[in-house]
Amino acid sequence: MCGIVGYIGKRNSQEILLDGLKKLEYRGYDSAGVAVYTADGLQIKKAKGRIANLESKLGETPLNGSVGIGHTRWATHGKPSDVNSHPHTDNSLKFSVVHNGIIENYITLKEELIAKGHVFVSETDTEVISHLIASLYEGDILKAVQKAVKHMTGAFALGVLTEFEPDRLVAVRQASPLIIGIGEGENFIGSDIPAILEYTRNVFILNDGEMALLTRDAVELMTLEGDFISREMFHVDWDIVTAEKAGFDHFMLKEIYDQPKAYRDTMGSRISPDGKSVTLNELTITPEAIRNISRVHIVACGTAFHAGMVGKYVIEKMARIPVETDVASEYRYRSPIITKDTLVIVVSQSGETADTLAALREAKRCGAHVLAITNVVGSSVAREANDIITTWAGPEIAVASTKAYTSQLIAFYLLGLHLAQTLGTQTPEEIAEVITAMKELPAQVSEILEQAEALKVVAEEMAKHDNLFFIGRGLDYAVALEGSLKLKEISYIHSEAYAAGELKHGTLALIEDDIPVIALATQHELLEKTVSNIKEVKARGANVLGIAVEGETELQKSVDSTFIIPKTLDVLTPALSVIPLQLLSYYASLARGNDVDKPRNLAKSVTVE
């Protein structure tokens, strides 16, 4: 996720662009840049790091001009650096582009452009766009952009400026947000409303497949094919804090609702166009090395460790390789058996978790191949691992992880399928079946989110209690651990998660009248046994909320209430069943009057051991 801002008018654009980028810094903050049309033509300034670094550069050598585009980046392709920062240009330096999203076919486009003599300087997918537009330009920037987008697949919001037509600014939206701000003698573009709220409260919100041509005095909306659109203007009455959260009360809630997009982005170009295979082009590990893997170690902390527990199940089921999961803070102190045939997978949202980084270094010292799953391209974990699967969830602001966790699940599904393809442990038909079901997950998450109000009622009742239990078997147990952690983190309700089959081994002593128990029962093969465990806690007075899959009726006879998730393959249910648990935690915290985004005593990234 990245932030885009653009301006065309009579004022100094540099100041407006910088101000807009600061308002969008929550969307990305590993680098920033601006392109401004000046008396000397199109000029660009970029800087790695926070926007303050860019501001310092512009303070030394300002860019004076009344039209420009700016960008704050969260890397998906290419490590954070000045060169990889946006805006990007073509070889003539006459065309400039800022981009939010992922161009799935950028490698193919890049190869075609290189064959025509284009020279690339960055590692990004975005640079392809500027070269592509330049190659198609015949005196009309609007038409060149329209031609270019026909060649592009993926998600993209674009701001495009050319030195040849400095009185025109082009904006495009395809599966990535973009809005147009309307002023008097000036107009704006932005990824989100906060970027322009100081200057105007009148906006057009572009829909997918739409674009806009901006001049100082007019805005024309049209489809990507050039058919003009008439749309009612939207007047924003939010304050800036609400606007940064896209109208949500808290970043956590916004990030819960970001998950359908995070799922789509993380799958993205990693699924073949025919939907029958997974393509992890970013991995360097060879098929021969994969066939020689004798064991897998998954190492992580907290929420990432819970994702790893799901990953263990997925890899063992799909690839039939034995997998161990370890808490990173314990891993290197137990003298783990690591050989050159061990694949060590480290999982970290930030890529800076101290214990995970230490485990990575120990694994490399012992000769293992290390694969990182992380949300931050330029992080220490990403730099030091042999391979990386980036989860394209975008920045996560709330301390309690939601979309980062579920994106890690998607990464494990992709990896499991990739290993299975290489090893032949699943048939092509079985692999295609999983991929088909994965592609349905974003819409199914949206379906769950539509039922949030029902969960709010349940959570408000839960919030009256000081103790609560989660139970589940198999994958449901892994999700129960994550649900319990979320509840503890932000509501401060004492919560424990147990493998349901362990209840007889002492846990039943803690069950008393009216104590809430959340029972996950989404695994078809384990349903009968889970129902038996539920009856045990019911017999001792527990009030049970069951999480079940659509079409399941037996569970509902044994619980006090149920929440139904859409039907999917058993192996994929964690990507759905955790969503209601995230919402329950959020609403319980809210009911208790807590600071949802900043729970006490916790930090977003744990960078000390």
Cα 191 to chain centroid distance, Å, stands at 16
- Tell me if residue 301 is catalytic: no
At residue 604, does pLDDT exceed 60? Answer: no
Tokens read off for 609: 């051991």
What angle in degrees, to the nearest 10, is found between the helix axes of 302-319 and 403-423? 20
At residue 41, does pLDDT exceed 50? Answer: yes
At residue 211, does pLDDT exceed 70? Answer: yes
At residue 370, does pLDDT exceed 60? Answer: yes
Tokens read off for 9: 């008018």
Q: What average pLDDT does this structure show over 86-95?
A: 96
More confident residue, 510 or 450: 450
At residue 608, does pLDDT exceed 50? Answer: no
Segment among 51-55, 397-401, 565-569 with least mean pLDDT: 397-401
At residue 483, does pLDDT exceed 50? Answer: yes
Q: Is the dihedral of CA 107, 113, 119, 122 positive or negative?
A: negative
Which residue, 335, 325, 373, 338, is CA-closest to 353? 373
Tokens read off for 223: 């489809």
Segment among 104-108, 382-386, 391-395, 518-522 with least mean pLDDT: 391-395
Cα 585 to chain centroid distance, Å, stands at 20
At residue 84, does pLDDT exceed 60? Answer: yes
How far apart CA 286 and CA 305 sit, in angstroms, is 26
Which residue, 47, 3, 51, is CA-closest to 394? 3
Q: Which residues contact 7 (CB under 8 A, 6 or more apart)?
A: 13, 16, 17, 20, 66, 67, 68, 69, 186, 187, 188
- Tell me if residue 604 is catalytic: yes
pLDDT tier for residue 258 given thresholds of 50, 70 and 90: very high
pLDDT for 600 equals 80
- Is 33 in contact with 44 (CB distance < 8 Å)? yes
Catalytic one of 2, 48, 245, 486: 2
Amino acid (one-letter) located at 131: H
Segment among 73-82, 162-171, 221-230, 472-481 with least mean pLDDT: 73-82
Tokens read off for 583: 């919402």
pLDDT tier for residue 115 given thresholds of 50, 70 and 90: very high
Amino acid (one-letter) located at 505: H
pLDDT for 245 equals 79
pLDDT for 27 equals 61
At residue 1, does pLDDT exceed 60? Answer: no
Burial class (CB in 10 A: 0-12, 13-18, 19+), 501: middle
pLDDT for 367 equals 94
- Which residue's structure tokens are 């995230």? 582
Segment among 229-238, 241-250, 329-338, 353-362 with least mean pLDDT: 241-250
pLDDT tier for residue 580 given thresholds of 50, 70 and 90: very high
The tally of CA atoms less than 13 A away on the side-chain side of residue 161 is 33
Q: What average pLDDT does this structure show over 177-185?
A: 94
Question: What H or E segment, with its residue span, contains residue 565?
Answer: strand 561-565
How far apart CA 568 and CA 431 sit, in angstroms, is 14
Tokens read off for 430: 């079985």
pLDDT for 603 equals 57
Catalytic one of 79, 567, 598, 604: 604
User: How does pLDDT run across 275-313, given as a tens digit for each residue?
Assistant: 999 999 999 999 999 999 999 999 999 999 999 999 999
Percent of the chain with pLDDT over 70: 97
pLDDT for 380 equals 83
pLDDT for 431 equals 97
Biggest CA-to-CA distance, the chain: 81
At residue 521, does pLDDT exceed 90? Answer: yes
